[in-house]
Amino acid sequence: SAVISQKPSRDICQRGTSLTIQCQVDSQVTMMFWYRQQPGQSLTLIATANQGSEATYESGFVIDKFPISRPNLTFSTLTVSNMSPEDSSIYLCSVHQRTSEKYNEQFFGPGTRLTVL
Amino acid sequence: KQEVTQIPAALSVPEGENLVLNCSFTDSAIYNLQWFRQDPGKGLTSLLLIQSSQREQTSGRLNASLDKSSGRSTLYIAASQPGDSATYLCAVRPYSGGGADGLTFGKGTHLIIQP
């Protein structure tokens, strides 16, 4: 299974600033996913990032607010821009891998816990 | 739009009991369904994955079933232990993307196993 690391693990930020979250995978993957988990809520997909192309955003999420980079097959960043307290969430990086028995099994990083004051 | 519902939202049982967590989804056109556990301060750990053509999967004390036509899945935990205490999440992947799209999650079942 893929091993995913994220930096930072947590941060406390001021309103109006931006934070860039890094995601590193120990193997090459075609697609990387960014999810958000607001307090007491389920995980919601923000966008899908393919190497060498623009990220695809889900309804309700826009590139200006959540710019994503995908410079190679093992790394991606998500920036939360012009933050407000409503952006306080856990942000999770995810990939899926096809194995011999399990198709497109999803794996997640440990998450970045963001608090905006 | 796919919606995933998990019942119950929270469950507290004594150690040793067998228990069932329920998941339902509104659109039966799924590629697969995956159960995860989430521990406080940690990411998600994949427990079981069921392809749309499968009826169940087993791993140790865990058994997950899938009835795609009725939009239901259950996670059965046998002989529960305090270490099973966590939030259990159900998620489905749509069929339309050929298995490449992201997951839709339920809100989870917060499980506490009392020693």
The pLDDT value recorded for residue B98 is: 66
- Report whether pLDDT(A11) > 80: yes
Structural tokens at position A106: 């999803």
The pLDDT value recorded for residue A100 is: 58
Report CA dihedral (B31, B37, B39, B40) to the nearest 10 degrees: 50
Structural tokens at position B77: 């935990």
- Report whether pLDDT(A101) > 80: no
Residue given tokens 């893929």 in the structure block: A2
Give yes or no for a contact between B14 and B114, defined as CB atoms under 8 angstroms apart: yes
Q: Name the amino acid, one letter, at A72.
A: N
- pLDDT one-digit tens code per residue, B9-53: 999 999 999 999 999 999 999 999 999 999 987 789 999 999 999
What are the residues whose beta carbons fall under 8 Å from the beta carbon of A6, sequence distance 6 or more? A21, A22, A23, A24, A91, A92, A93, A109, A110, A111, A112
Q: At CB < 8 Å, which residues of chain B contact A? A: 4, 31-32, 34, 36, 41-44, 46, 49, 51, 89, 91, 93, 99-108
Q: CB distance A104–B100 less than 8 Å?
A: yes
- Report whether pLDDT(A95) > 90: yes
Q: Could you tell me if A73 lies within 8 Å of chain B, comparing CB atoms?
A: no
Q: Distance between CA A64 and CA A57 in Å, rounded?
A: 11
Summarize the confidence of residues A57-64 as an average pLDDT: 94
Confidence of residue B109 (pLDDT cuts 50, 70, 90): very high
Q: Name the amino acid, one letter, at A113.
A: R
Q: CB distance A42–B105 less than 8 Å?
A: yes
Min Cα distance A44 → chain B (Å) is 7
In SS3 terms, chain B reads as CCCEEEECCEEEEECCCCEEEEEEECCCCEEEEEEEEECCCCCEEEEEEEECCCCEEEECCEEEEEEHHHCEEEEEECCCCHHHCEEEEEEEEECCCCCCCCCEECCCEEEEEEC
Q: Distance between CA B102 and CA B91 in Å, rounded?
A: 10
- pLDDT one-digit tens code per residue, A29-54: 988 999 999 988 889 999 999 888 88
The pLDDT value recorded for residue B97 is: 67
In SS3 terms, A10-58 reads as EEEECCCCCEEEEEEECCCCCEEEEEEECCCCCEEEEEEEECCCCCEEC
